[in-house]
Structure 1
Amino acid sequence: MQTTPVEPASGAVSGHAEQALPDRYVDMKRGLTSAQVEERRARFGRNVVDSKARRTWWQTLWEVLHEPMFLLLLAASGIYFVLGDVAEALTLLAFVTGIIFLTVFQSHRTARVLDSLRELSAPRAQVLRDGQRQLVSAAELVPGDVVFVNEGTRVPADGAITEAHELSVDESLLTGESVSVSKSAARASLPPDEDPGEQLFFGSMVVQGQGQMIVTATGPNTTLGRIGKSLTGITEAHSPLQLETRTFVNRFASASIALCVLLVVAYRLRSGEWLSGVLAGITLAMGILPEEIPVILTVFMALGARRIANEGVLTRRMSAIETLGQTSVLCVDKTGTLTQNRMSVRALCARGKLQFIDQSTQHIDETYHELIEYLVLASEIEPVDPMELAFHETGHAGLAGTGRLHGDWTLVREYALTPELPAMSHAWHSPDLGYHTVASKGAPEAVCALCHLGAHETQTVMDQAAQMASNGLRVLGVARARHPPGDWPEKQHDFEFTFVGLVGLLDPVRPEVARAIAECKAAGVRVVMVTGDYPSTARAIAAEVGINVSRIVSGQEMAVMDDSRLRETIGSTDVFARVRPEQKLRLVSAFRESGHVVAMTGDGVNDAPALKAAHIGIAMGLRGAEVAREVASLVLLRDDFAPIVSAIRLGRRIYANLVQAISYTVAVHIPMIAATMLPVLVGWPPMLAPVHIVFLQLVIDPVCSVVFENEPERENLMCVPPRRIGARLLSNRSLTQGAAAGTFAALVVLGVYAGLLSAGYRQPLARTLAFITLVLGNVALIFVIRMLSQPGRRFRACRPNRYLWIVLGVTGVALVLLMTVPAVARLFGLVALLDVGAGV
């Protein structure tokens, strides 16, 4: 059994960290058991440096108590007490309690959604437990866990390195130095206590290679934890929509202050009373103040993010939701996005011969045995990547019993793939040979360069690769070399490689992709394929899924284009092949400068700049590098194309429903303002009191934040062009339509009130009937806004909005109580309609 000692990190802040591992040794073949993990988690807690505590009920309550609406209600209650109207004051306080409860409940509901999304977006770690590799949340790691780290991942805890393959780490978070640091494992020739190997530190980023470590410290006991540095202290900037709504609310508030002062002065001049005038001013302020808008925005974004997560896309930045509906260009990779990322070897080319194989192939000709042998030797020993898994599968199937599978050979040297040389090499030590065997695989042109082939030979290889790629295959070249014992060369070019052959892999297209791309086209969203594969491979796949292949531009062609020429090219090109990762940034910048809203998918370390530059960066959640997920706005919970289209659809729906909610807010406040101001200004008895405004808010708030959020999508949602950049939340047309609808409702309410007063009815009955009309008018505005948002009222019948009918039902019950129960009516200063004689 292979075991490795695990010592606590030096300088641990907690004394019990010294007793972290009483058994001191970890089984490197099986890792910790589930029981050991639970015991250590109970002892050391979660692996979190700076855990932001969830907001408590008391904190939420304290925030509500500071809201302007609540302060206005308290002021109104105080004035009623001063005026001696204790019943009115207590009634108002009872409604205040109800509003507080609803607000706190809604806030916690939203907070729970956001907390669950944060947990989904938390860093993950690949760990060995119970003899199996598992993907777990980094927060669940414990001392003694065997953890695997790869290029592009963030180190999830402090640990001692046990294996390192070309491992290089960026520790600038701890040291401030941007230069990466090479790391090595313990030397097998020395006892572990004499050479424990180097350390990896929580929060550092693996920029090259891969390795294995044993966790020695977690959470506050890590180096990062002792420094007190937080990975979660970054505050997201306000989005354009948040800034726009803030400006909208501020303007509304400024207007309300002016109107309230005017009303107080007018009341004082007409009646000679200050307190009643202040009460009327407070009532007006409550009717004007658009306090629903910040709530609407928060609820829509949080619940919208949950809806998108249910479709398989995690929202890491809420601002991405509002941008989804504007997306006009979607740049996607081929492998794993348009295809299934389930590779299998389908073609072998060696010694001038070509053989196509599939699952039914019973025998692989001996001509290709050497090619498969060196293909396996150039792959990882324990493959994770689908491509290398396919190589090992073909090797075990095709070389069984041939003596070409070398289980007793030892890997002694690795040369990593680089952007400059897209090929990797492995050097092996054999107990029976007097030299080292070197196997290399990579892009055919890179392997030809390593073999120093002449122009004619290189062209022959490239022609054969192009022929294989035209069948939709991904093509790699394979080479071999021998190296005598002694010093190793610094670079792969220093070996004397011999070309062995080509291998073609098939990655089937996902069956749902063609339909999803057709949906994008109907919605005015261009789908652009950006791949590192050959143009012929890209052409075959693009044609199969419905992407325009009239022109294909290669990375080599892009390299000689200036920015102006590239902007012209992207106007007629939807497929870019043989593109290097750093060239993706140029493409994103070119599309942005051309006025497009760009969404970009990526999974590697080198994709991070392009993901960050795109309006919406979309990282692969399963195979993506941690650094790619950190800079992305969205993360695919399953590496697939269809969820991206679903997210765009939902983004459009969320924004359309948000426009309806804000339009309703504008419309519904107009009759409330008119019913509060005009009776005072023209000398009629006041129509509305604060308690009436509170009742109306109990209808308006759920309508804005729940009913419209659950509105089904419009029938033509994905048949219209994307929203243009810079478009306002409420267009002049929407604002005018909402204001006109609200004005009409106000005229009806005031007409009822004035007509009853002029007909000789007493004020209580006139107020009662006018108030009922106002409530019914607010309900009618819901349907008016829905109709205006979609002419013809073409909504999906299969998705009725049950929340609308719940709110309408509750409102109807409340109105019936007001109209039939005298005690309830008196609380509102109204008269029960069953006792109409009292109001005549």
Structure 2
Amino acid sequence: MQTNPVDPAPGAVSGYAEPAWPGKHADMKRGLSSAQVEAQRAQFGRNVVDSTARRTWWRTLWEVLREPMFLLLLAASGIYLVLGDVSEALTLLAFVAGIVFLTVFQSHRTAQVLDSLRELSAPRAQVLRDGQRQLVCAAELVPGDVVFVDEGARVPADGAVTEAHELGVDESLLTGESVSVNKSVARADAHPEEDPGGQLFFGSMVVQGQGQMIVTATGPNTALGRIGKSLTGITEARSPLQLETRTFVNRFASVAIGLCLLLVVAYRLRSGEWLPGVLAGITLAMGILPEEIPVILTVFMALGARRIANEGVLTRRMSAIETLGQTSVLCVDKTGTLTQNRMSVRVLFAQGKRQVIDQATQRIDGAYHELIEYLVLASEIEPVDPMECAFHETGRAELAGTGRLHEDWSLVHEYALTPELPAMSHAWHTPELDHHAVACKGAPEAVCALCHLDERETRSVLEQVAQMASGGLRVLGVAKARHSHPDWPEKQHDFDFSFVGLVGLLDPVRPEVAGAIAQCQAAGIRVVMITGDYPSTARAIAAEVGIDGTRIMSGQEVAAMNDARLREAIKNIDVFARVKPEQKLRLVNAFRESGQVVAMTGDGVNDAPALKAAHIGIAMGLRGAEVAREVASLVLLRDDFAPIVSAIRLGRRIYANLVQAISYTVAVHIPMIAATMIPVLVGWPPMLAPVHIVFLQLVIDPVCSVVFENEPERENLMRLPPRRAGARLLSNRAIVQGAAAGAVVAMLVLGLYAGLLAHDYPMPFARTLAFVSLVVGNVALIFVIRLLPRFLPRLLPQSERRAHAPRQNRYLWMVLGVTGVALLLLMTVPALARLFGLVPLLDLDAAV
């Protein structure tokens, strides 16, 4: 273990520009100043390796113009020009330009939302600037920055190690070797290639210990940048919902091609002309293609992710939004999720005596001074963990003036906590003594084993632990040893430890947790606590927050069961205590294999496998390891339980609104298809032209992507059971409902059109009334789709019923107002009416 910072010489690292290597001029106590950071960034740019190019207007425009709908519109305009109808062609092109503008604006807005979410989810770094330790986006690092790295963090840039505490790094991204590499302080006079053990490289993962480095290269100047690899080059696979909608659209497109060919042939047989038949076929294709569906899905997911981010949850994978409404089991840690992660020392036990510390405590008896002394010595010198901060705070308050605060002692060796031995030790050089002092803290049973206590002594200690844990306290054991040999033992068991005492820490429960858990339970979601604390501690916390803790399963019991027995046992157990990280993975897999949709919270390196295995992995954003955030689907922007419930609520709302939007899309295309196809097949004059379809699209698109996306949640949304796992968005029931509603509108419109033609009304007059009725019918379908579940509850499964009418949606009335004004202009301005082949209202009497 090495702890003394080394200032490398300015010329120590070749290949780096002089300003990139502050060397002896680097202030390791204060880091760079804000002015220095800006100067370095101006010279070296952002710390990004081959980042994804940001979306531009031109790129978005090009993607929109390649859509089938716009190609059809351009083809229709070309046919009008060939037929000599220039005004119709120009009108259609004008509408095409309008739709292109709206689509590009919407697509670009969606892309901007996704870009901003990507920036939020970018790796972060702990950096020392202006004397303050700050958390910044890794892209903002510059050469010369002093950066802290901890276990589970992604190294954010290339740098020279200036401090190392049992530091081990996985460099497989660069070398392909999966074995971790131990790091030590960089030599001041060595080239990086001669001293790889003193260098950290961008993209590698810290798998053990902690350290400090000074940034030597950023972005394309790093080793990763020079070999052309990219951390951002991995694209997310299509989600099941995207695949489902893509399949649906492709099937519709296949049907459209067949029907269009049929219509072209039918028109040719009836009229003997090809071009008008092709125009009718294009009109039908425009009316039949549900090109809105992929757009709807993208818009809903992007805007939904932004809504969820506003609630304090960052979406790293859009597919998680689809799954939120299906969550049936929510596995949560205790510390920091259910509790505030604000530790305070509440109970001390030493020399057979016990003292409770509260607001009434005036001072702590001298019998406990040694216990506090060794608690501080067994903690980090500059603590970050709330538990160790509490030990240092207690030490400063109670040991001042006692000679037990050893500022002149130096840390010379340390033993890290491991899954096999949940205890850690620090060895200190003591100038006034002839030996090294060794301080140990950890799980009480592990400390008892290190002290080689006999069965009676161990039982007595663990009885005290049980009493303290029953009050919801986290309990640690403390031991001490002395070491006089020049060589350090390989393991902690080789020290001759003696037992010092126990400490109990209180971590208060978050005040909003009980209500949030009650909401989950009302929504049919099991909340399961998985903690490493004692069963009695877990039971006390469970009782306080409303989780059933009558039956608790320990990690030992989990380890003793095979998979089949475990799946059976977890059916009625909601609290798991003394659980190791590898057992979390088994529990998640057991819930999954039982048919549950599992969401799980985690923050450590060892939590990563379980987070990845869960349907929805939720990482702690403030205290979580970088590797946990990378594998998680959601990241909490504040370590709290309430945002998880908000995300589930929003996930349910997004899905419910998406179902409505898809149902409306299906419904609204039925009358358009019927109004285009049936008149041609039965020998009536064509009712719709491409320009009419374009007008209808101007109504449909904002309704789907704006109105339904902004539908408020139903009042009983969180009193419904989770959506069935594997349920299709485009279920047969939803398709039949939408098609049935659309068929009713189609029959009314075609009935009106046929009746007018049968009574010898002029075709322009019949088309005018039929078109107006079609627009009104499309508007009516909005209300039908919104209210249909209320009037047809027997047709819906229990999980989709809505007991309450929807709340007001201001975007609905805005879209309807604009539609009404556009239709009124169309019917009152003669020039516009003629472009559409309609009769203005002022000329209706003359037309009749």
TM-score (norm 1): 0.97
CA distance in structure 2 between the aligned counterparts of 1:11 and 1:219, rounded to whole angstroms: 17
Partner SS state of residue 28, structure 1: coil
Q: Choose which of 3, 7, 10 in structure 2 pairs with 1:4.
A: 7
After the TM superposition, which residues 720-799 of structure 1 pair with which residues of structure 2 at under 5 Å, given as runs?
A: 720-791=720-791
CA distance in structure 1 between the aligned counterparts of 2:300 and 2:233, rounded to whole angstroms: 24
Opposite residue 800 of structure 1, the aligned amino acid is: Q
Task: Give, in angstroms, the shift of residue 20 of structure 1.
Answer: 2.7
CA distance in structure 2 between the aligned counterparts of 1:730 and 1:236, rounded to whole angstroms: 23
1:803 match: 811
Opposite residue 156 of structure 1, the aligned amino acid is: P
Task: Give, in angstroms, the shift of residue 789 of structure 1.
Answer: 3.6
1:834 match: 842
Partner SS state of residue 550, structure 2: coil
Opposite residue 741 of structure 1, the aligned amino acid is: A
Partner SS state of residue 537, structure 1: helix
Opposite residue 101 of structure 2, the aligned amino acid is: F
Residue-by-residue CA offset, 1:3-31 (whole Å, 9 max, x unaligned): 8246589564xxx8344347752011100
Opposite residue 38 of structure 2, the aligned amino acid is: E
Q: Is the 8 A contact 2:7 2:188 kept in 1?
A: no
Opposite residue 713 of structure 1, the aligned amino acid is: E
1:646 match: 646
CA distance in structure 2 between the aligned counterparts of 1:579 and 1:683, rounded to whole angstroms: 75
Task: Give, in angstroms, the shift of residue 64 of structure 1.
Answer: 1.4
CA distance in structure 1 between the aligned counterparts of 2:750 and 2:583, rounded to whole angstroms: 65
Partner SS state of residue 434, structure 1: coil
Residue-by-residue CA offset, 1:790-813 (whole Å, 9 max, x unaligned): 45976687x631111110000000
CA distance in structure 2 between the aligned counterparts of 1:116 and 1:618, rounded to whole angstroms: 20
Change in 2 beyond 3 A, CA 1:180/1:825: same
2:45 match: 45
Change in 2 beyond 3 A, CA 1:11/1:676: farther
2:823 match: 815
Residue-by-residue CA offset, 1:406-451 (whole Å, 9 max, x unaligned): 1110000010000000000000011100000000000000000100
Q: Identity over the aligned pairs, expressed in percent?
A: 83
Q: Is the 8 A contact 2:787 2:805 kept in 1?
A: no
Partner SS state of residue 456, structure 1: helix
Opposite residue 809 of structure 1, the aligned amino acid is: G
Partner SS state of residue 425, structure 2: strand
Change in 2 beyond 3 A, CA 1:190/1:48: closer
CA distance in structure 2 between the aligned counterparts of 1:455 and 1:344, rounded to whole angstroms: 31
Residue-by-residue CA offset, 1:457-511 (whole Å, 9 max, x unaligned): 1111111001000000000000000000410000000000000000000000000
1:199 match: 199
CA distance in structure 1 between the aligned counterparts of 2:20 and 2:399, rounded to whole angstroms: 47
Task: Give, in angstroms, the shift of residue 248 of structure 1.
Answer: 0.8
CA distance in structure 1 between the aligned counterparts of 2:195 and 2:280, rounded to whole angstroms: 81
Partner SS state of residue 4, structure 1: coil
Task: Give, in angstroms, the shift of residue 730 of structure 1.
Answer: 2.7
Greater mean alpha carbon deviation, residues 725-734 or residues 247-256: 725-734
| 2:457 corresponds to 1:449 | no
Opposite residue 667 of structure 1, the aligned amino acid is: A
Q: Is the 8 A contact 1:411 1:427 kept in 2?
A: yes
Partner SS state of residue 32, structure 1: coil
CA distance in structure 1 between the aligned counterparts of 2:567 and 2:585, rounded to whole angstroms: 13
Greater mean alpha carbon deviation, residues 109-118 or residues 230-239: 230-239
Change in 2 beyond 3 A, CA 1:190/1:42: closer
Opposite residue 692 of structure 1, the aligned amino acid is: H
Residue-by-residue CA offset, 1:199-250 (whole Å, 9 max, x unaligned): 0000000000000000000001100110111101112111111111111111
CA distance in structure 1 between the aligned counterparts of 2:740 and 2:843, rounded to whole angstroms: 36
2:365 match: 365
Task: Give, in angstroms, the shift of residue 820 of structure 1.
Answer: 1.2
Opposite residue 152 of structure 2, the aligned amino acid is: G
Opposite residue 601 of structure 1, the aligned amino acid is: T
CA distance in structure 1 between the aligned counterparts of 2:23 and 2:451, rounded to whole angstroms: 52
After the TM superposition, which residues 274-293 of structure 1 pair with which residues of structure 2 at under 5 Å, given as runs?
A: 274-293=274-293
Q: Is the 8 A contact 2:828 2:840 kept in 1?
A: yes
Task: Give, in angstroms, the shift of residue 527 of structure 1.
Answer: 0.2
Opposite residue 313 of structure 2, the aligned amino acid is: V
Q: Is the 8 A contact 1:4 1:192 kept in 2?
A: no
Q: Is the 8 A contact 2:187 2:198 kept in 1?
A: no
Task: Give, in angstroms, the shift of residue 668 of structure 1.
Answer: 0.2
After the TM superposition, which residues 249-268 of structure 1 pair with which residues of structure 2 at under 5 Å, given as runs?
A: 249-268=249-268
Task: Give, in angstroms, the shift of residue 65 of structure 1.
Answer: 1.5
Q: Is the 8 A contact 1:674 1:746 kept in 2?
A: yes
Partner SS state of residue 235, structure 1: coil
1:551 match: 551
CA distance in structure 1 between the aligned counterparts of 2:229 and 2:194, rounded to whole angstroms: 31
CA distance in structure 2 between the aligned counterparts of 1:78 and 1:557, rounded to whole angstroms: 75
CA RMSD of aligned residues (A): 1.9
CA distance in structure 2 between the aligned counterparts of 1:783 and 1:538, rounded to whole angstroms: 50
Q: Is the 8 A contact 1:183 1:198 kept in 2?
A: yes
Q: Is the 8 A contact 1:660 1:789 kept in 2?
A: no
Task: Give, in angstroms, the shift of residue 191 of structure 1.
Answer: 14
| 2:321 corresponds to 1:313 | no
Opposite residue 97 of structure 2, the aligned amino acid is: T
Opposite residue 7 of structure 2, the aligned amino acid is: T
Q: Is the 8 A contact 2:347 2:504 kept in 1?
A: yes
Q: Is the 8 A contact 1:283 1:688 kept in 2?
A: yes
Q: Is the 8 A contact 2:13 2:192 kept in 1?
A: no
Opposite residue 269 of structure 1, the aligned amino acid is: L
| 2:534 corresponds to 1:526 | no
CA distance in structure 2 between the aligned counterparts of 1:269 and 1:188, rounded to whole angstroms: 90
After the TM superposition, which residues 382-421 of structure 1 pair with which residues of structure 2 at under 5 Å, given as runs?
A: 382-421=382-421
Partner SS state of residue 687, structure 2: coil
1:473 match: 473
CA distance in structure 2 between the aligned counterparts of 1:701 and 1:767, rounded to whole angstroms: 23
Partner SS state of residue 572, structure 2: coil
1:694 match: 694
Structure 2: give runs of 5+ residues left out of the alignment: 794-801
2:573 match: 573
Change in 2 beyond 3 A, CA 1:634/1:56: same
CA distance in structure 2 between the aligned counterparts of 1:796 and 1:271, rounded to whole angstroms: 51
CA distance in structure 1 between the aligned counterparts of 2:400 and 2:44, rounded to whole angstroms: 48
Partner SS state of residue 372, structure 2: helix
CA distance in structure 1 between the aligned counterparts of 2:190 and 2:50, rounded to whole angstroms: 38
TM-score (norm 2): 0.96
1:29 match: 29
Task: Give, in angstroms, the shift of residue 596 of structure 1.
Answer: 0.3
Change in 2 beyond 3 A, CA 1:3/1:279: same
CA distance in structure 2 between the aligned counterparts of 1:263 and 1:468, rounded to whole angstroms: 82
CA distance in structure 2 between the aligned counterparts of 1:523 and 1:383, rounded to whole angstroms: 40
Task: Give, in angstroms, the shift of residue 646 of structure 1.
Answer: 0.5
Partner SS state of residue 209, structure 1: strand
Q: Is the 8 A contact 1:591 1:598 kept in 2?
A: yes
After the TM superposition, which residues 539-688 of structure 1 pair with which residues of structure 2 at under 5 Å, given as runs?
A: 539-688=539-688
Residue-by-residue CA offset, 1:380-421 (whole Å, 9 max, x unaligned): 000000000000011111111111111110000010000000
Residue-by-residue CA offset, 1:108-138 (whole Å, 9 max, x unaligned): 1000000000000000000000001000000
Q: Is the 8 A contact 2:660 2:708 kept in 1?
A: yes
Q: Is the 8 A contact 2:553 2:576 kept in 1?
A: yes
Q: Structure 1: which 4+ aligned runs deviate by more than 3 Å? A: 5-12, 21-24, 186-197, 789-797
